[in-house]
Amino acid sequence: MISSNKTAKEIFHEAMQNPQRVPFGFGNKAVLVNVDPQKAYTRTDLYKTAYETDPRQLEYVNELSKRFRSLNWPVVWTHVAYMDSAEDAGVWGTRTDTEDSLQNIKYDSDRTAFDERCEIDPARDVIYSKRMPSAFFETPLQSLLVWHQVDTVIITGGSTSGCIRATAVDSLSRGYRTIVPEECTADKHESYHYANLTDLHLKYADVMGVQKACEWLDQKITQKAE
């Protein structure tokens, strides 16, 4: 094991500058999976469970979503919610039992509601309720991707060390090129955030600036118009 006095943020930026890391790259068609941009995790003014890394995160997510709709590509939003009994949280919901505990994010509560800043098109976008970290676990996401014949998954949301990581690993495991725009993810602490971005970039996904993802989508939009 390599020891270092560098911060997780410093290690991340070093990894991003490493030219030996060959990217998976973009494919032909993508899905945008916006993981849990709900009030329990985004409204730092309301809930202790919420976090913010880049204050423009949801703005960037909305810009990506607009481009996907222009291409008639799928836009997916997930949020976490549990029954009053919390039995659907399983063992994950047994570590604590406070007002802020995971299993107490109940259906139809304010905590499970999407952040008001999210620009969701209910007529076109797909919304899934999930109970475990990965957006693929026991949701119809895999079937949706097969139907749309996508080969690339772009993931936004939070947390970087939790649901983003789990979704990215499941995405790669299913054979998809996986993209994580850096500014579009967030976590409770910069150490968790950057350590997991580093690990994702080295193993499971292409971590990149959101502008690069937007440029690829803009190229696709131009090609479609020609």
Q: What is residue 88's predicted lDDT score, i.e. its pLDDT?
A: 96
Number of domains in the chain: 1
Q: Which domain holds residue 103?
A: 10-15+22-225
Report if residue 173 sits inside a domain.
yes
Span 45-69, pLDDT tens digits: 999 999 999 999 999 999 999 999 9
Q: Which residues pair with 179 in a beta bridge?
A: 154, 206
Q: Which tokens sit at 25? A: 């790259």
Residue 88 carries which side chain, given as an amino acid letter? D
- Confidence (pTM): 0.97
DSSP letter, residue 10 = H
Residue 91 carries which side chain, given as an amino acid letter? V
Residue 191 burial (CB count, 10 A) = 13
| Residue 163 annotated as catalytic | yes
Report if residue 2 sits inside a domain.
no
Looking up tokens 């899905």 gives 31
Per-residue b or e along 40-63, where b marks 16 or more CB atoms closer than 10 Å to that residue's CB: bbbbeeebebbbbbeeebbebbbb
Report if residue 156 sits inside a domain.
yes
pLDDT band at 20 (very low <50, low <70, confident <90, very high): confident
Task: Report DSSP letters for 39-105, one per residue.
Answer: HHHH-TTT-TT---SSTTHHHHHHHHHHHHHHTT--EEEEEE-B-TT-GGGGGGG-S--STTSGGG-
Please state the three-class secondary structure of 170-220 as a single string: HHHHCCCEEEEEHHHEECCCHHHHHHHHHHHHHHHCEEECHHHHHHHHHHH
Which residue among the candidates 118, 163, 184, 214 is catalytic per the annotation?
163
Span 197-212, pLDDT tens digits: 999 999 999 999 999 9
Span 133-156, pLDDT tens digits: 999 999 999 999 999 999 999 999
CATH of the domain at 104: 3.40.50.850
Report if residue 1 sits inside a domain.
no
Report if residue 5 sits inside a domain.
no
Angle between helices 57-70 and 210-225 (to 10 degrees): 20
Q: What is residue 226's predicted lDDT score, i.e. its pLDDT?
A: 82
